[in-house]
Chain A
Amino acid sequence: MAALGTSPSTLTDAADVIALLVLLSEFAMLRSSLSRSQVRLYGFQSLCVSVLAGFVAATQHIGELYGLMGLSFVLKVIVVPMVILRLVREVRVDVTASHRLGVATMVLLAIVLSVFGVFVVGRLPVHSHSLPILALGLAAAVILVAFLLVIVRNDVVSQAIGFFSLENGVSVASLVLAAGLPLIVEVAFLFDLLVAVVVFGLLMRVHQGRSRTLSTRALDRLRG
């Protein structure tokens, strides 16, 4: 129990708040009903992740992380949202994302998942130097909520955003767990993400070109 007076350093608190923003933007994505605002929220979330990377770089004096921060900023805050927004603009139909559940139900489910994630992390013997353990718990929550997002939404934009934000959650987790990861590996991860984004974009276009919609409701032919 955090007794009076033993308040942790303000820096850690700031990092916690940013990590919280990552989770809150995930929740916002979950409930947001416009594809466009979902993409913007993703951009905001990526911004928070980049800031966290910069925070770790500064406090841990890991110069390589600055480069990573810059890369992920350019890629995830600017390029990806721009590409998807353009796609959404081109389609012009059903830019409202769809829900399979009521918003309140969804948020409650997501809360349950978050609690689960945080409690699991709470039982782990992890001691990180780079970020408070809370960030790891929140990252776990982000990942779980991202799964929920992909499951309860049935349009390709939401599903793609769900995957990208899952990756953001993993990024936060990796900042906690593996801040010292060698640069070459980090760059490989990022490069991979880039390729994945291209593929997602391509498939979204294929899907849109074939079915004139971004909804996945038409994707029910293959079953059994």
Chain B
Amino acid sequence: MTGVELDPVEIQVLQDLTILVFAPFVSGAIAHLGARLQGRRGPRVLQPYYDIAKLFRKETLVPEEASWVFLAGPVVAFACYLTVPLLIPVLTQYPLPLGYMGDILGGGFILSLAGFAVALAALESGDPYAQLGSSRAMTFGALIQPSILFVTFTVALVTATDLPYFEAAAVRSSLGQAIAPAHLLAAVAFFLVVLSDTGRIPVETHASTLEFGMIDEARTFEHSGPALALLKWGAAMKQLILYVILINVFAAPWGEAGSRQVGAVLLAIPAFIGKALGVGVIFAVIDNSFSKLRLFKITEFMAVAFLLAVLAVLVLFLGAR
């Protein structure tokens, strides 16, 4: 074999960088496509980068009553979003050294911590809409948790571990595994979880300016400057992280590097971004084909996700006999 082999640590850093760098790009692409589907020209694909760059140049305003938590929140959240890519298969089929550090639940905890930090910061601001947003976000986050748990159980029952790498390997192992009912159910359930966690229709209008329907978006109302930049960037990263889990664990774990060759690993980056954009297209289409649910109807959506996740476990329960 020719070519330079990368150190696992280098690959790990590369995974993080991939998420960090390309997250605004994927967000921008989805926003662009969504606008096109509505017959508008839409923002440029690279617009999120400009936004973030502009925000970093601006000054930070802090409400009078706010304490240090107001500014620490965005930073903590951003740090969390940088940690999670270490645990999940972004570019490689094989587990990296830190991949054993945390399982799906671990990743979930870190993501929740990020959400918690943002919510705290929003509460500190004293702005009623921000508080409304964070209380809603925490409520719906809690409601979607059971689904995530049962998806995790499914993974654990299939692979006897709940490390994301192994579920992906199980799916790759045979086509039969990919279309096994339990796997399909868990994948669809997780798809709904992603839909909810990334604030997409039918749970939330992503780019709305109507405060009453807002959940996640409302939380950043009082933030400005670099803090807001971190929040926006973090939200994009969270979205891409969830896409990674959806794509590289459940739906299509093909195309990642099987070796440590530089070429293979570097090739995995465009492959992954391509898949992420593919998922983005699906989300954009959903965004444009359905209407937002009324706030009190969102629980129905959560119930569906939960139903699918529970069924996945039930299927495994009887299938094991």
Task: Give yes or no for direct A-B contact (beta carbon below 8 Å).
Answer: yes
Which of A's residues lie within 8 Å of B, judged by CB? 1-5, 7-10, 13-14, 16-17, 20, 23-24, 27, 31, 102-104, 107-108, 110-111, 114-115, 118-119, 121-122, 132-134, 137, 141
B40 at the interface (CB under 8 A from A): no
- Measured CA separation A10–B24 after assembly (Å): 40
Given A9-B176, A103-B297, 9 extra CB contacts under 8 A: A4-B169, A4-B173, A7-B173, A13-B180, A20-B185, A20-B311, A104-B302, A107-B306, A111-B307
One of B170, B184, B297, B299 near A4 (C-beta < 8 A): B170
Residues of A within 8 A of B300 (CB): 31, 103-104, 107
Given known A4-B170, A5-B173, A16-B319, contact A104–B157 (CB-CB < 8 A): no
CB pair B303–A16 under 8 Å, yes or no, is: no
- Measured CA separation A1–B300 after assembly (Å): 31
What's the minimum C-beta distance from A23 to chain B, rounded to whole angstroms? 7
Given known A1-B160, A103-B300, A108-B303, contact A13–B318 (CB-CB < 8 A): no
CB pair A23–B316 under 8 Å, yes or no, is: no
What's the minimum C-beta distance from A72 to chain B, rounded to whole angstroms? 23
CB pair B307–A134 under 8 Å, yes or no, is: no
Given known A104-B299, A118-B317, contact A13–B179 (CB-CB < 8 A): yes
CB pair A107–B176 under 8 Å, yes or no, is: no
B38 at the interface (CB under 8 A from A): no
Residues of A within 8 A of B144 (CB): none
B285 at the interface (CB under 8 A from A): no
What's the minimum C-beta distance from A144 to chain B, rounded to whole angstroms? 13
Q: How many A-B residue pairs have CB under 8 A?
A: 92
Tell me how many residues of B have a C-beta within 8 Å of chain A. Answer: 34
CB pair A118–B299 under 8 Å, yes or no, is: no
B321 at the interface (CB under 8 A from A): yes
What's the minimum C-beta distance from B140 to chain A, rounded to whole angstroms? 12
CB pair B181–A107 under 8 Å, yes or no, is: no
Residues of A within 8 A of B21 (CB): none
B111 at the interface (CB under 8 A from A): no
- Measured CA separation A94–B163 after assembly (Å): 51
Residues of A within 8 A of B304 (CB): 107
Tell me the chain B residues, 151-182 only, with Cβ under 8 Å from chain A.
Answer: 157-160, 169-170, 173-177, 179-181
What's the minimum C-beta distance from A125 to chain B, rounded to whole angstroms? 10
One of A3, A17, A102, A114 near B160 (C-beta < 8 A): A3
B315 at the interface (CB under 8 A from A): yes
One of A7, A27, A121, A132 near B174 (C-beta < 8 A): A7
One of A2, A10, A107, A119 near B175 (C-beta < 8 A): A10
CB pair B179–A132 under 8 Å, yes or no, is: no
What's the minimum C-beta distance from A38 to chain B, rounded to whole angstroms? 16
